[in-house]
A and B are shown apart, each in its own frame.
Chain A
Amino acid sequence: MNRTVLVVGVAITLALFAILFVGLGRDPAAIRSPLVGKPAPPFALKAVGTGQTIDLASLRGKPAIINFWATWCVPCYQEHPVLVENARMLPGVQFVGVVFNDTEDKINAFLRERGSSYPTLLDEQGKTAIAYGVGGVPETYFLNRDGVIVAKFAGPMSTEILQSNLAKAMQ
C-alpha cells in the first residue's frame, strides 16, 4: 500500500467532487447581484483619449448604462458594435465603458479600429470593477435617473437585451 498515492489521490478526488457538486446547483448565465435596487457605488475615473475625469455624480439626471469590458475579452468584440450603435441612437441615455485589467494603448487601438460613441474609462487598479462586483467581462449595469442600479446583465448583449434592460431604467 502506497500511502502517499492514497492520501494525495483521495484529497484531489474530494476537492474536485466538492467544487463540482457545488457548481451543479448554479446556472452559469445567471449572475446575482446584491446591488440591484441599491445606489450605484461611486467612482471617478479618467477617460481614455481625453484624460478628463468622469464620476458617477455627473451621470445623474439621465438613465445610464455602465459596461465593463476589456480588449482581451472575446465576447466584448461581439458586443461593442451593439453598444456603439445604441449610444448613437439614444442620446437621452448616458453610456459609459469601464475597462479593467488592460492598457491604454490597447484600448486606444481597439476604439480606433472599432469606433466609439461614448466615454471609455480606464479602471487601472480594478477598484471600480471590484466595487460593482464584476464577475467577468462583459458585464453591464443599468442605472436609473437617480443613480440606482435597476438591472445587471452578464455576457454580450444584443440590441434586444440592451433595450429590454434599459426599459427598466427608463421607468
Chain B
Amino acid sequence: MTAALGRFLILASVFVSAAGSIVAFAAGKKHSPEGLMFARRFAYAFAALMVVATGVMEYALLRHDFSVGYVAHVGSREVPTWVTIVSLWSSLEGSILFWGLVLGLYIAGATWLTRNQYVDYMPFAIGTWLACATFFSYLIAAPANPFLTVPAQPDGPGPNPLLQNHLLMIIHPPFLYLGYVGMTIPFGLACAALMRGRLGHAFLRPLRASLLLPWIFLTIAIMLGGWWAYEVLGWGGYWAWDPVENASLLPWLTATAALHSAIVMERRGVLKGWTVTLVQGSFLLTILGTFMTRSGVFNSVHSFTQSSIGPTILVFLTATLLFSVVLLALRINTLEAEGKLESPVSREGMFLVNNLLFVLLTFTVLIGTVFPLAVEAFKGRQMSVGRPYFDSMVVPVGTALLFLIGVGPALPWGRVTRKQAIRSLLMPLASGTVVALIGYIAGARNPWTILTLLFGGYAAWVTVVEMSRGGTRVLRRGRRRFGGYVVHAGAVIVLVSIAVSSTMRTSTEVRLTRGQAAKIGPYTVTFLAAEERTEPHRQSTVARFAVTSNGKPVTTLEPRMNFYPTMREPIGTPDVHSTITRDLYLSIMNIDPNSQTVSVMMLITPMVSWIWIAVFLMGVGGLIALIPARSVVILSEAKDLRMPSSLATGDPSLRSG
C-alpha cells in the first residue's frame, strides 16, 4: 500500500514536471503571462509531490515496512532511530529521492522569490528547471525506484556501516545535495538569459545569489567530507584526490570562478558569455559528479556500489551538455559587452587571471580523474595517476591563487599608474615576510610551505585592510563586499593550514602491550586496556589510551575497531585530540584483546582544526554576502541595459569587489 502510494506520487511528479516544462517554454516563446502563471503552479506542484513522496518513504522507514523495496534494502529494526531517518540518503535509490526533494524545494523557492520579477526570463528558467526535474523524477520512477513492492521480511540488513560510523555522515550528504542540486537554479537562469539573448544588469542579482547559495553549501560539504574522512577512515589525512572527492571539487572550482567573473561583469559590463559558460559548466560538472558517484565506473571509498542508473545519467549528461553547447553557440554573440577592460595591471586584470587559474585547476583535476578511464578506453590498459600528479599540478596553481587573493584587492579598478601599483603592492609585503619568518622559526622548511606563508601573510594584510574600509557603515551598505572579504580571510587560512598540515606532520607506528607507553612530540601515550563493547548494531574492540604531556594528564583517547554484522572486514574509527595548534591522532592498525596488545599509528598534525574553522568562516562570509543590502535599488529591466555610472566609478563604500 505504502509502496503503491509512493509509486503514484512519483509518476505524478514525472507528469507534472514534464507538463510544467512544456507550458513554461511555450509561455516564454509567446510572452504569455497566463502561461507563466501556470508554469509557476506546476513548479509548486512538483515540489509538493516530492515533499509528500519523501514523507511517505520516511514513514515506511520508521514503521519498518519491509514490503517497500528500499526499506527492505537498507532498513533494520536493530539500528537507532536517527540511523533509520538518515537511511534515506544511505543508498542509491533513497538518495535520488532525496535529490528530488531538494530539487523540488529549490525550484519552488526560486519560483516564489522571483514571482513578480524578471518576467521576460522566468518562463525559460522555470522551463529548464522543470526539464531537469522531469529527468530526476523519471530516474526515481524507473531505473532507481525506491518504492518497488517486495515480499515482506521480518528484518533488514541496515544501512551501509560507514554511514552509521560517524555523526558527520548525517550532515555531510544533505549539504552536498544542497550544493549539487542548487546549481540547477543558476543553470536555469543562465539558459534563460541565453534563450532571451540578453543578460541585463538587474538579472545579475538572482543569477549571482542563486549561484552563491549552493556554493556556500558545497563549500561546507567538501569540508565535511574531508573532516569525515579524517575522523573515520583512519589514515590521518583529509583529502586523497579520490574520484568522488574530485567530483565535489570540480563544480566548486567553476562556481567560484563564476562568482568572480560576475563581479567584473557587474562593474565593467564584460565577460557575460564567459560567466554564463562557467555557470552552465558548474551545473554540468555536478551531473558528471553524480555519474562518477553512481555509475560504478570509478573505484572510491565514497561511491555507491554498482548500479544500473549509470547509462541513464550518461544520456542526461550528454543531452544537457549538447543543449548547453548549442545554446551557447547560437546566442553567445548576442550577450554584447558594454564596456572594456582598461589595463591588465588592475583589479579586473587580476580577476581575469583568477578565472584562468580556476579553469586551469578545473581541467587539471578533471583530466587527472578521467584520464585513467581514457587510457583504458583506447589502450585497454588500466592505470591511475595518483597523488603525485595532483600534488605537482595543484600546489603551484593553489599558491598562485593565494597570491591573487593578496594582490587582486590591493590593486584599484581601472587604469593604474606605476606609482599607485608599487605603493599598494609593497605595503603588505612586510606582513607576508613576518608570517614566513614565524613559519621558518617554527620549523617550516618545505619551499612551497614557506611561499604559502609569505603569500598568506600578504593576503591576510590586504584582506583585513579591505574589510575595515568604510568602518561600521560597511555592514549596512557594503555587505556583499565585506562578505566577500570574510570568504577571502577563510580561504587564506584554509590554504595556509593545508600547506602546514600536509608538510609538517610527524607520525610513528608502535606496538604496545597493556601499561606500555610511547612518546610522540610533547605527548606520552600510555595503553591502558583493550575492551570489547556491544551495541545493538555493532560490536567494537576499543583501545583506551591515556595521554599526558610533561606528566600532566591531557585526555583519554579511545580509537576502536567496529564490527558490523553485514561487513566482513572491521571498520576502524580513529580518535583525535584536537587543539588550536595541533591534533594528536590515534588509529588502530591491529588489536588483540586476549593478549592486550595493540598496534597503533600515532600522528601529530599541526593546524588541522583551522581548516574546519576557516571553511566554516568561508560559509559565513558567503551568507553575509548573500543577504541583500537595503540600499540596493532593484533596477527595472528598462533601465538595466547600461550600467549606471555611479556603480562603475562612484562612492567606494558601494564597491562590491
* Chain A residues within an 8 Å CB radius of B288: 16
Is A90 part of the binding interface, using a Cβ–Cβ cutoff of 8 Å? Answer: no
The minimal Cβ–Cβ distance linking B319 to chain A, given in whole angstroms, is 10
Task: Give the CA-CA distance A27 to B306 in the complex, in Å.
Answer: 8
A77-107: contact bitstring with B at CB < 8 Å (1 yes, 0 no)? Answer: 1100100010000000000000001000000
Mark each residue of chain A from 113 to 137: 1 if its CB lies under 8 Å from any CB of chain B, else 0: 1110000000000000000010111
CA distance A16 to B325 in the complex (A): 14
With both beta carbons as reference points, the residue of chain B lying nearest to A155 in the complex is identified as B299
Q: Is B42 an interface residue (CB 8 A)?
A: no
Contact of A21 among B314, B321, B507 (CB under 8 A): B314
When distances are taken between beta carbons in the complex, the residues of chain B under 8 Å from A22 are 373, 376-377
Q: Which residues of A contact B509 (CB under 8 A)?
A: 81, 113-115
A41, CB-defined interface residue at 8 Å: no
- Is there a chain A Cβ closer than 8 Å to B370's Cβ? yes
Most buried by A among B235, B296, B298, B382: B382
Interface digits, A1-37 against B, CB 8 Å rule (1 contact, 0 not)? 1110110011011001111111110111101000000
Say whether B295 faces chain A, with CB atoms less than 8 Å apart. yes
Q: Are B332 and A135 in contact (CB under 8 A)?
A: no
Query: How many angstroms between the C-alpha atoms of A63 and B306 in the bound complex?
Result: 34
Q: Is the CB of A2 within 8 A of B333?
A: yes
Assembled-state Cα–Cα distance A6/B331 (Å): 11
CA distance A76 to B324 in the complex (A): 42
In the complex with contacts A2-B328, A5-B325, A113-B507, A19-B377 CB distance below 8 A: yes
Q: Which of B196-204, B352-360, B383-391 is near enough to bind chain A? A: B383-391
| Distance from B246 Cβ to chain A, minimum over Cβ atoms (Å) | 14
In contact, B329 and A85 (Cβ under 8 angstroms): no
Q: How far is the CA of A22 from the CA of B234 in the complex (A)?
A: 34
Which chain A residues lie closer than 8 Å to B474 at the CB level?
none
Complex: A158 Cα to B589 Cα, angstroms: 12
* A24 close to B321 (CB less than 8 A): no
- B324 and A20 contacting across the interface, CB-CB below 8 Å: no
Give B509's nearest chain A residue, CB to CB. Answer: A114
CB distance A20 to B383 under 8 Å?
A: no
CA distance A151 to B614 in the complex (A): 48
* Contact B235 A23, beta carbon cutoff 8 Å: no
A100 to chain B, nearest CB (A): 11
Q: Which residues of B contact A26 (CB under 8 A)?
A: 297, 376
| Contact in complex: A136, B384 (CB < 8 Å) | yes
B136-171 residues with Cβ-Cβ distance < 8 A to A are none
Chain A residues within an 8 Å CB radius of B328: 2, 5, 9
User: Does A43 belong to the interface (CB within 8 Å)?
Assistant: no
In the complex with contacts A24-B310, A114-B509, A31-B322 CB distance below 8 A:
no
In the bound complex, residues from chain A placing their C-beta under 8 Å from that of B554 are none
Tell me the nearest residue of chain A to B292, going by C-beta: A20
**A72-B387, A135-B381 known; A13 vs B322 contact (CB < 8 Å):** yes
The answer, among A23, A29, A74, for a CB contact under 8 Å with B240, is: A74
Provide the bound-state CA to CA distance between A16 and B324, in Å. 15
B330 touches A18 (CB 8 A): no
- Interface residue from A9, A20, A81, A136 paired with B325 (Cβ < 8 Å): A9
B555 interface contact, C-beta 8 A: no
Which residues of A are found within 8 Å of B295, using beta-carbon distances? Answer: 20, 23-24
Contact with B along A53-75 (1 / 0, CB 8 A): 00000000000000000101110
Contact between B297 and A28, CB atoms less than 8 A apart = yes
Contact B507 A2 (CB under 8 A): no
The 8 residue pairs across chains A and B that have the minimum distance between CB atoms: A9-B325, A135-B382, A136-B384, A28-B299, A6-B329, A22-B377, A23-B297, A5-B329
14 contacts between A and B (CB under 8 A): A2-B329, A2-B333, A9-B321, A13-B325, A16-B318, A17-B317, A19-B374, A19-B377, A26-B376, A28-B298, A72-B388, A136-B384, A137-B386, A160-B569
